[in-house]
Amino acid sequence: MATPLSAERLLRALRDEGLTIVQVGNWRAHNRNQKGPWGEVYGVMIHHTVTQGTARTVAICRDGYSGLPGPLCHGVIAKDGTVYLVGHGRANHAGLGDDDVLRAVIAEKSLPADNETSTDGNRHFYGFECENLGDGKDPWPAVQLEAIEKASAAICRAHGWNDRSVLGHAEWQPGKVDPRGFEMDVMRGRIAARLGTKPSKPSPRKPVVDLSQLVAAARSNPAKAGTPVTYSGVRIVETALVDAGLLSKRYADGHFGTTTVASYAKWQRSAAGGRYRGTDADGIPGKASLTALGKRYGFTVTN
Protein backbone atom coordinates (compact mmCIF):
# COMPACT_ATOMS: atom_id res chain seq x y z
CA MET A 1 0.00 0.00 0.00
CA ALA A 2 1.33 3.42 -0.85
CA THR A 3 0.32 6.97 -1.57
CA PRO A 4 0.94 7.75 -5.27
CA LEU A 5 4.21 9.46 -6.10
CA SER A 6 3.93 13.16 -6.81
CA ALA A 7 4.56 14.17 -10.41
CA GLU A 8 8.01 15.48 -9.51
CA ARG A 9 8.96 12.33 -7.59
CA LEU A 10 7.78 10.16 -10.48
CA LEU A 11 9.79 12.19 -12.97
CA ARG A 12 12.88 12.07 -10.78
CA ALA A 13 12.58 8.31 -10.19
CA LEU A 14 12.39 7.59 -13.92
CA ARG A 15 15.32 9.86 -14.72
CA ASP A 16 17.41 8.40 -11.89
CA GLU A 17 16.90 4.97 -13.46
CA GLY A 18 18.57 6.25 -16.63
CA LEU A 19 15.52 6.73 -18.84
CA THR A 20 15.07 9.37 -21.53
CA ILE A 21 11.90 11.29 -20.70
CA VAL A 22 9.69 13.54 -22.84
CA GLN A 23 7.06 15.54 -20.94
CA VAL A 24 3.90 15.93 -23.01
CA GLY A 25 1.87 19.09 -22.47
CA ASN A 26 0.28 19.54 -19.07
CA TRP A 27 0.83 15.91 -18.06
CA ARG A 28 1.13 16.78 -14.35
CA ALA A 29 -2.53 17.86 -14.24
CA HIS A 30 -3.95 15.55 -16.93
CA ASN A 31 -6.03 12.80 -15.31
CA ARG A 32 -9.48 11.31 -14.70
CA ASN A 33 -9.60 12.15 -10.99
CA GLN A 34 -13.07 13.63 -11.39
CA LYS A 35 -14.35 10.11 -12.12
CA GLY A 36 -12.94 8.42 -9.04
CA PRO A 37 -10.07 8.20 -6.58
CA TRP A 38 -6.38 7.74 -7.42
CA GLY A 39 -4.68 5.58 -4.76
CA GLU A 40 -3.77 3.80 -2.67
CA VAL A 41 -1.43 2.33 -5.31
CA TYR A 42 -0.14 -1.23 -5.29
CA GLY A 43 1.75 -1.86 -8.52
CA VAL A 44 2.70 -1.18 -12.12
CA MET A 45 0.71 -2.49 -15.09
CA ILE A 46 2.22 -3.05 -18.56
CA HIS A 47 0.18 -2.84 -21.78
CA HIS A 48 0.71 -2.87 -25.54
CA THR A 49 -0.96 -0.19 -27.65
CA VAL A 50 -2.04 -2.00 -30.86
CA THR A 51 -0.77 1.07 -32.73
CA GLN A 52 2.11 1.96 -35.00
CA GLY A 53 4.08 5.20 -35.08
CA THR A 54 5.27 6.97 -31.96
CA ALA A 55 3.60 10.36 -32.55
CA ARG A 56 0.21 8.80 -33.24
CA THR A 57 0.59 6.42 -30.29
CA VAL A 58 1.44 9.21 -27.86
CA ALA A 59 -1.46 11.34 -29.09
CA ILE A 60 -3.96 8.50 -28.63
CA CYS A 61 -2.65 7.63 -25.18
CA ARG A 62 -2.81 11.26 -24.10
CA ASP A 63 -6.18 12.21 -25.60
CA GLY A 64 -8.01 8.89 -25.78
CA TYR A 65 -10.73 8.28 -28.32
CA SER A 66 -14.51 8.19 -28.64
CA GLY A 67 -15.93 6.41 -25.63
CA LEU A 68 -12.67 6.31 -23.68
CA PRO A 69 -11.16 9.70 -22.76
CA GLY A 70 -7.46 10.08 -22.01
CA PRO A 71 -5.11 9.74 -20.46
CA LEU A 72 -4.98 6.02 -21.23
CA CYS A 73 -1.82 5.56 -19.15
CA HIS A 74 0.79 7.52 -17.25
CA GLY A 75 3.62 6.92 -19.68
CA VAL A 76 4.11 5.67 -23.23
CA ILE A 77 7.23 3.59 -23.87
CA ALA A 78 8.25 4.00 -27.51
CA LYS A 79 10.14 1.60 -29.74
CA ASP A 80 13.36 3.56 -29.18
CA GLY A 81 13.02 3.33 -25.38
CA THR A 82 11.91 6.93 -24.82
CA VAL A 83 9.24 7.37 -22.14
CA TYR A 84 6.57 9.98 -22.90
CA LEU A 85 4.77 11.16 -19.77
CA VAL A 86 1.14 11.89 -20.68
CA GLY A 87 -0.73 11.89 -17.36
CA HIS A 88 -0.52 11.89 -13.60
CA GLY A 89 -3.37 10.62 -11.47
CA ARG A 90 -6.23 8.34 -12.38
CA ALA A 91 -5.93 7.05 -15.97
CA ASN A 92 -8.15 4.84 -18.13
CA HIS A 93 -5.79 1.90 -18.53
CA ALA A 94 -6.49 -1.02 -16.20
CA GLY A 95 -10.28 -1.21 -16.04
CA LEU A 96 -12.06 -3.72 -13.83
CA GLY A 97 -10.08 -6.78 -12.80
CA ASP A 98 -9.79 -9.64 -10.36
CA ASP A 99 -9.73 -8.92 -6.63
CA ASP A 100 -7.76 -12.15 -6.03
CA VAL A 101 -5.05 -10.82 -8.33
CA LEU A 102 -5.02 -7.51 -6.45
CA ARG A 103 -4.56 -9.32 -3.13
CA ALA A 104 -1.66 -11.29 -4.61
CA VAL A 105 -0.01 -8.09 -5.89
CA ILE A 106 -0.41 -6.44 -2.50
CA ALA A 107 1.18 -9.49 -0.82
CA GLU A 108 3.77 -9.70 -3.63
CA LYS A 109 2.94 -13.35 -4.25
CA SER A 110 2.48 -15.48 -7.36
CA LEU A 111 -0.55 -14.36 -9.35
CA PRO A 112 -3.68 -16.52 -9.59
CA ALA A 113 -5.64 -16.83 -12.81
CA ASP A 114 -7.84 -13.79 -13.43
CA ASN A 115 -11.50 -14.72 -13.80
CA GLU A 116 -13.45 -11.78 -12.36
CA THR A 117 -14.02 -8.11 -13.15
CA SER A 118 -14.90 -6.84 -9.70
CA THR A 119 -12.20 -4.34 -8.76
CA ASP A 120 -11.23 -0.86 -10.01
CA GLY A 121 -7.69 -1.12 -11.37
CA ASN A 122 -7.48 2.49 -12.54
CA ARG A 123 -7.39 3.49 -8.90
CA HIS A 124 -4.57 1.17 -7.84
CA PHE A 125 -2.01 0.84 -10.66
CA TYR A 126 0.48 2.95 -12.52
CA GLY A 127 0.16 2.17 -16.23
CA PHE A 128 2.64 2.12 -19.11
CA GLU A 129 1.43 1.67 -22.68
CA CYS A 130 4.16 0.21 -24.89
CA GLU A 131 4.20 0.92 -28.62
CA ASN A 132 3.51 -2.41 -30.35
CA LEU A 133 0.87 -3.87 -32.68
CA GLY A 134 0.23 -6.67 -30.19
CA ASP A 135 -0.06 -9.32 -32.91
CA GLY A 136 2.77 -11.50 -31.63
CA LYS A 137 4.82 -10.62 -34.70
CA ASP A 138 5.69 -6.95 -34.22
CA PRO A 139 9.19 -7.00 -32.68
CA TRP A 140 10.10 -5.67 -29.25
CA PRO A 141 13.48 -3.91 -29.66
CA ALA A 142 16.01 -4.57 -26.91
CA VAL A 143 16.09 -0.88 -26.02
CA GLN A 144 12.31 -0.85 -25.54
CA LEU A 145 12.35 -3.93 -23.30
CA GLU A 146 15.12 -2.32 -21.28
CA ALA A 147 13.00 0.81 -20.89
CA ILE A 148 10.04 -1.28 -19.65
CA GLU A 149 12.40 -2.90 -17.14
CA LYS A 150 13.79 0.46 -16.01
CA ALA A 151 10.42 2.22 -15.74
CA SER A 152 8.94 -0.62 -13.69
CA ALA A 153 12.00 -0.84 -11.47
CA ALA A 154 12.03 2.92 -10.94
CA ILE A 155 8.54 2.92 -9.46
CA CYS A 156 9.17 -0.25 -7.45
CA ARG A 157 12.36 1.27 -6.05
CA ALA A 158 10.57 4.49 -5.09
CA HIS A 159 7.89 2.55 -3.20
CA GLY A 160 10.08 -0.24 -1.81
CA TRP A 161 8.26 -2.90 -3.85
CA ASN A 162 9.72 -6.00 -5.48
CA ASP A 163 9.14 -7.40 -8.98
CA ARG A 164 5.85 -9.07 -7.94
CA SER A 165 4.31 -5.58 -7.93
CA VAL A 166 4.58 -5.53 -11.75
CA LEU A 167 1.98 -7.29 -13.87
CA GLY A 168 0.61 -7.38 -17.39
CA HIS A 169 -2.90 -6.32 -18.35
CA ALA A 170 -3.63 -9.95 -19.31
CA GLU A 171 -2.86 -10.99 -15.74
CA TRP A 172 -5.42 -8.53 -14.35
CA GLN A 173 -8.48 -8.43 -16.61
CA PRO A 174 -10.07 -11.53 -18.20
CA GLY A 175 -10.01 -11.47 -21.99
CA LYS A 176 -6.99 -9.19 -22.29
CA VAL A 177 -3.83 -10.48 -23.97
CA ASP A 178 -1.36 -7.65 -23.47
CA PRO A 179 1.53 -7.27 -23.45
CA ARG A 180 1.91 -9.81 -26.22
CA GLY A 181 5.32 -10.78 -27.57
CA PHE A 182 7.31 -11.23 -24.36
CA GLU A 183 6.69 -13.07 -21.09
CA MET A 184 5.90 -11.10 -17.97
CA ASP A 185 7.70 -13.68 -15.83
CA VAL A 186 10.87 -13.01 -17.82
CA MET A 187 10.38 -9.25 -17.45
CA ARG A 188 9.85 -9.63 -13.71
CA GLY A 189 13.14 -11.52 -13.54
CA ARG A 190 14.88 -8.61 -15.25
CA ILE A 191 13.27 -6.15 -12.85
CA ALA A 192 14.38 -8.21 -9.86
CA ALA A 193 17.95 -8.27 -11.17
CA ARG A 194 17.91 -4.48 -11.58
CA LEU A 195 16.55 -4.06 -8.06
CA GLY A 196 19.14 -6.48 -6.70
CA THR A 197 16.51 -8.80 -5.25
CA LYS A 198 15.88 -12.51 -5.59
CA PRO A 199 13.67 -13.23 -8.64
CA SER A 200 10.17 -14.43 -7.84
CA LYS A 201 8.99 -17.85 -8.94
CA PRO A 202 7.06 -17.87 -12.23
CA SER A 203 3.29 -17.64 -12.04
CA PRO A 204 1.75 -21.07 -12.75
CA ARG A 205 -1.19 -19.56 -14.57
CA LYS A 206 -2.92 -19.48 -17.92
CA PRO A 207 -6.00 -17.55 -19.00
CA VAL A 208 -9.21 -19.41 -18.12
CA VAL A 209 -12.25 -19.77 -20.39
CA ASP A 210 -15.57 -20.84 -18.90
CA LEU A 211 -17.26 -23.13 -21.43
CA SER A 212 -20.82 -22.45 -20.28
CA GLN A 213 -20.40 -18.67 -20.50
CA LEU A 214 -18.68 -19.00 -23.88
CA VAL A 215 -21.53 -21.15 -25.27
CA ALA A 216 -24.09 -18.64 -23.97
CA ALA A 217 -22.24 -15.86 -25.80
CA ALA A 218 -22.01 -17.92 -29.01
CA ARG A 219 -25.75 -18.60 -28.93
CA SER A 220 -26.89 -15.06 -28.09
CA ASN A 221 -24.40 -12.66 -29.67
CA PRO A 222 -25.17 -13.32 -33.39
CA ALA A 223 -28.74 -12.05 -32.98
CA LYS A 224 -27.69 -8.83 -31.30
CA ALA A 225 -26.95 -5.50 -32.93
CA GLY A 226 -23.50 -3.96 -32.52
CA THR A 227 -20.68 -5.69 -30.71
CA PRO A 228 -21.77 -6.40 -27.14
CA VAL A 229 -19.09 -7.97 -24.95
CA THR A 230 -21.25 -10.42 -23.03
CA TYR A 231 -18.36 -12.57 -21.74
CA SER A 232 -14.75 -11.41 -21.52
CA GLY A 233 -13.38 -14.89 -22.28
CA VAL A 234 -14.61 -14.53 -25.87
CA ARG A 235 -11.57 -12.36 -26.60
CA ILE A 236 -9.23 -15.16 -25.49
CA VAL A 237 -10.88 -17.60 -27.90
CA GLU A 238 -10.99 -15.08 -30.73
CA THR A 239 -7.27 -14.33 -30.28
CA ALA A 240 -6.59 -18.07 -30.57
CA LEU A 241 -8.68 -18.25 -33.76
CA VAL A 242 -6.73 -15.29 -35.17
CA ASP A 243 -3.47 -17.11 -34.37
CA ALA A 244 -4.83 -20.21 -36.07
CA GLY A 245 -5.47 -18.17 -39.22
CA LEU A 246 -9.21 -18.74 -39.02
CA LEU A 247 -10.45 -15.27 -37.99
CA SER A 248 -9.53 -11.81 -39.23
CA LYS A 249 -8.06 -9.68 -36.45
CA ARG A 250 -10.67 -6.97 -36.98
CA TYR A 251 -13.38 -9.39 -35.79
CA ALA A 252 -11.57 -10.20 -32.52
CA ASP A 253 -13.74 -7.71 -30.65
CA GLY A 254 -15.17 -9.79 -27.80
CA HIS A 255 -18.47 -10.35 -29.66
CA PHE A 256 -19.08 -14.02 -30.50
CA GLY A 257 -21.04 -13.06 -33.58
CA THR A 258 -21.75 -14.73 -36.89
CA THR A 259 -18.17 -14.38 -38.17
CA THR A 260 -16.67 -15.87 -35.01
CA VAL A 261 -19.19 -18.73 -35.13
CA ALA A 262 -18.15 -19.48 -38.72
CA SER A 263 -14.47 -19.32 -37.77
CA TYR A 264 -14.96 -21.66 -34.82
CA ALA A 265 -16.79 -24.10 -37.11
CA LYS A 266 -13.68 -24.16 -39.30
CA TRP A 267 -11.64 -25.02 -36.21
CA GLN A 268 -14.07 -27.86 -35.37
CA ARG A 269 -13.71 -29.26 -38.90
CA SER A 270 -9.91 -29.05 -38.87
CA ALA A 271 -7.66 -31.97 -37.95
CA ALA A 272 -6.39 -30.16 -34.86
CA GLY A 273 -9.93 -29.28 -33.78
CA GLY A 274 -11.28 -32.83 -34.05
CA ARG A 275 -12.47 -33.29 -37.67
CA TYR A 276 -16.11 -32.78 -36.65
CA ARG A 277 -18.86 -32.74 -39.28
CA GLY A 278 -22.52 -31.82 -39.53
CA THR A 279 -24.15 -30.43 -36.40
CA ASP A 280 -20.99 -31.25 -34.43
CA ALA A 281 -19.26 -28.50 -36.43
CA ASP A 282 -21.89 -25.77 -36.01
CA GLY A 283 -19.53 -23.18 -34.53
CA ILE A 284 -20.86 -23.57 -30.98
CA PRO A 285 -17.88 -24.56 -28.81
CA GLY A 286 -17.76 -28.01 -27.25
CA LYS A 287 -15.49 -29.18 -24.44
CA ALA A 288 -13.19 -31.31 -26.61
CA SER A 289 -12.64 -28.81 -29.42
CA LEU A 290 -12.22 -25.89 -27.00
CA THR A 291 -9.74 -27.83 -24.86
CA ALA A 292 -7.74 -28.63 -27.99
CA LEU A 293 -7.74 -24.95 -28.97
CA GLY A 294 -6.63 -23.95 -25.48
CA LYS A 295 -3.86 -26.54 -25.37
CA ARG A 296 -2.44 -25.21 -28.62
CA TYR A 297 -2.88 -21.48 -27.90
CA GLY A 298 -2.34 -21.19 -24.17
CA PHE A 299 -5.56 -21.15 -22.16
CA THR A 300 -7.38 -23.59 -19.91
CA VAL A 301 -11.08 -24.56 -19.96
CA THR A 302 -13.48 -24.91 -17.04
CA ASN A 303 -17.03 -26.31 -16.91
pLDDT one-digit tens code per residue, 171-218? 999 878 899 999 999 999 999 999 999 887 776 667 789 999 999 999
Q: How buried is residue 66: exposed, middle or buried, by Cβ count under 10 Å (0-12/13-18/19+)?
A: exposed
pLDDT one-digit tens code per residue, 62-78? 999 988 999 999 999 99
Q: How buried is residue 137: exposed, middle or buried, by Cβ count under 10 Å (0-12/13-18/19+)?
A: exposed
pLDDT one-digit tens code per residue, 132-145? 999 889 999 999 99
Q: What's the pLDDT score for residue 206?
A: 74
Q: How buried is residue 55: exposed, middle or buried, by Cβ count under 10 Å (0-12/13-18/19+)?
A: exposed
Q: What's the pLDDT score for residue 1?
A: 60
Q: What's the pLDDT score for residue 12?
A: 98
Q: What's the pLDDT score for residue 279?
A: 93
Q: What domains lie within the chain, and their CATH numbers?
A: 7-195 (3.40.80.10), 208-302 (no CATH)
Most confident of 115-124, 158-167, 203-212, 237-246: 158-167
Q: What is the mean pLDDT of the chain?
A: 93
pLDDT one-digit tens code per residue, 261-291? 999 999 999 999 999 999 999 999 999 999 9
Q: In this predicted structure, which of 91-95, 168-172, 238-242, 250-254 has the lowest mean pLDDT?
A: 250-254
pLDDT-above-90 percentage for the chain: 79
pTM across the whole model: 0.75
